[in-house]
Structure 1
């Protein structure tokens, strides 16, 4: 693992006292990380790109909402370790071009895409991931009319939140050919990618069950008709790629198939983004992480991707 210092600690400030409201300043197609609750909460990628971590509590449960713009990695973690709630900040370091967080309680350092402590008193501990899909703001509102969204914390009254939280630099990076710190900022070593079946910045949904991990590249799921069934560890998994992102659920053993533009199984249609059926049933969403392929490969090796 290559760890490097890039910025001072907390140069990218976490949000530790988040505020929520019913309206969002961004675009309808902006992506948000969704955490279920009463009401459900949306955390816009646009805001997270400038803060990377939100320490929050929802329905009395602590959570850490995390985002690495270089890895395009969205993961929500349970921050309770041995009965103690950890709060996280940005360390200013990168590990294999991935955000390194630190916790303020023990000062251990954590690799964001994996949730593993890589240094400090808690080295070797892994944070459990919490199911948290990534969808568009428009889809979040349609599914959750009572939902709330993280409010911006930056701005001095002279610029609008849309100007302060400008996504153009991050979108240029996501669409460009280079990856890692060099691709984002033109600093450090240019990384190489020695495979042609998957691009370095192919979007992957990573599912981990026990000691097994499988990354589902979105193009491969789409090539399979938008539906893939698989086994990861002891769990049967079904992965859907829809216009509203890529989502993983526990597979109850149904024969899912794409037919006439709909996902059908067990005598009804299913929404691939929510896991809900037309007859009122719902699949159990799996904890997963959405990220770029190079980051998944850094963590799990080149043979960790789903292949038909």
Structure 2
């Protein structure tokens, strides 16, 4: 693991008191990280690219009940979470902030491990590698955070699938901004879009500094989007292309967990496999005599497939943590 200091601690400020609304400052096609609490919450990548961590609490009545949540309708009472995003790795993971009975609050350390965000917790000052969710230094070294089921979809999809959902509001810009800039201007995406479109990867490609890295695989690109699932000591990364080459639906076992991974277009989702024969046709999932929405896992007859906790990230970041044989559907992979 290669660790480097890049910025002072907290130079990229986390959001520790998030607020939510119904309006979004970005465009329809922009990605948001979605957690299906009640109501569903969207965390825009546009905002997370400038903050990287949101320390939030599901079930906080001061923030949820103001959006007309029916009493007792949430299954996430007082669940502290960290919604995390590493722009270099395109790594989106939501973690439970509870470790050994203690609630942790996360900030940015200013360090990178294998070009990935290193978070630190303010309670013990342990450092955590963001895509892995594991402490790599400090009193909690070796401890792992539990991932929370979440998805990455477009803002337009979120508005369609979760009409009562709420979205994280910007911290900067608008009324009172010292430069008089709008939130959209403050949260400018051009440098991140330029990085995503470039062939290279890592800090050097993002900022023109740091070590040069090479990618010696021909079966998958370094920036291929992968959905990674870790369970029971096993870890499998599902590249979008490989899932789509398999017809858009893959049934697999990770540890002792039966999963289905579904991909259409740029989207990829994982659910617990109930044992039905599934088929994807024109973006619609068919199984057990009914249709299922691949974004939400809901069927037209009212059933819902439980979403599997996962992380969406670039292939190079998954390989850094789990090795070259951890990809589904590739000749060197263990799951095929």
How far 1:260 moved relative to its partner? 5.3
For 2:32, the equivalent position in structure 1 comes to: 32
How far 1:261 moved relative to its partner? 4.9
- Cα distance change of structure 1 residues 256 and 179 upon mapping to structure 2, 3 Å threshold: same
SS in 1 for 2:295: coil
- Cα distance change of structure 1 residues 221 and 93 upon mapping to structure 2, 3 Å threshold: same
The TM-score, its normalising length taken from structure 1, stands at 0.98
For 1:194, the equivalent position in structure 2 comes to: 216
SS in 1 for 2:51: coil
Aligned length: 308
For 1:208, the equivalent position in structure 2 comes to: 230
CA distance in 2, matches of 1:102, 1:236: 33
- Tell me, yes or no, if the aligned pair for 2:264 and 2:283 is still in contact at 8 Å: no
- Cα distance change of structure 1 residues 302 and 279 upon mapping to structure 2, 3 Å threshold: same
The TM-score, its normalising length taken from structure 2, stands at 0.90
**Structure 1 residue 265 corresponds to structure 2 residue 297:** no
SS in 1 for 2:194: helix
For 1:84, the equivalent position in structure 2 comes to: 102
Alignment partner for residue 279 of structure 1, among 289, 301, 304? 301
How far 1:38 moved relative to its partner? 2.2
For 2:43, the equivalent position in structure 1 comes to: 43
How far 1:242 moved relative to its partner? 2.2
Alignment partner for residue 237 of structure 1, among 235, 255, 259? 259
**Structure 1 residue ranges, 4+ long, deviating more than 3 angstroms after superposition:** none
For 2:15, the equivalent position in structure 1 comes to: 15
For 1:141, the equivalent position in structure 2 comes to: 159
How far 1:183 moved relative to its partner? 1.1
How far 1:225 moved relative to its partner? 1.7
CA distance in 2, matches of 1:27, 1:64: 24
CA distance in 1, matches of 2:287, 2:165: 29
CA distance in 1, matches of 2:144, 2:216: 29
- Cα distance change of structure 1 residues 197 and 79 upon mapping to structure 2, 3 Å threshold: same
CA distance in 2, matches of 1:87, 1:194: 38
SS in 2 for 1:299: helix
- Tell me, yes or no, if the aligned pair for 1:55 and 1:65 is still in contact at 8 Å: yes
CA distance in 1, matches of 2:118, 2:283: 41
- Cα distance change of structure 1 residues 104 and 260 upon mapping to structure 2, 3 Å threshold: closer
Where do 5+ consecutive residues of structure 1 fail to align? none
- Tell me, yes or no, if the aligned pair for 1:33 and 1:132 is still in contact at 8 Å: yes
- Cα distance change of structure 1 residues 260 and 180 upon mapping to structure 2, 3 Å threshold: closer
For 1:292, the equivalent position in structure 2 comes to: 314
- Superposed CA offset, 1:165-211 (max 9, x none): 11111111011011010111110111000100000000000001111
Return 30-39 or 179-188, whichever deviates more: 30-39
- Cα distance change of structure 1 residues 218 and 260 upon mapping to structure 2, 3 Å threshold: closer
- Cα distance change of structure 1 residues 254 and 5 upon mapping to structure 2, 3 Å threshold: same
Return 109-118 or 153-162, whichever deviates more: 153-162
For 2:247, the equivalent position in structure 1 comes to: 225
CA distance in 2, matches of 1:210, 1:302: 19
How far 1:215 moved relative to its partner? 0.1
- Cα distance change of structure 1 residues 284 and 8 upon mapping to structure 2, 3 Å threshold: same
How far 1:138 moved relative to its partner? 0.9
How far 1:147 moved relative to its partner? 1.0
How far 1:258 moved relative to its partner? 2.2
- Tell me, yes or no, if the aligned pair for 1:139 and 1:244 is still in contact at 8 Å: no
**Structure 1 residue 150 corresponds to structure 2 residue 168:** yes
Where do 5+ consecutive residues of structure 2 fail to align? 60-77, 330-335
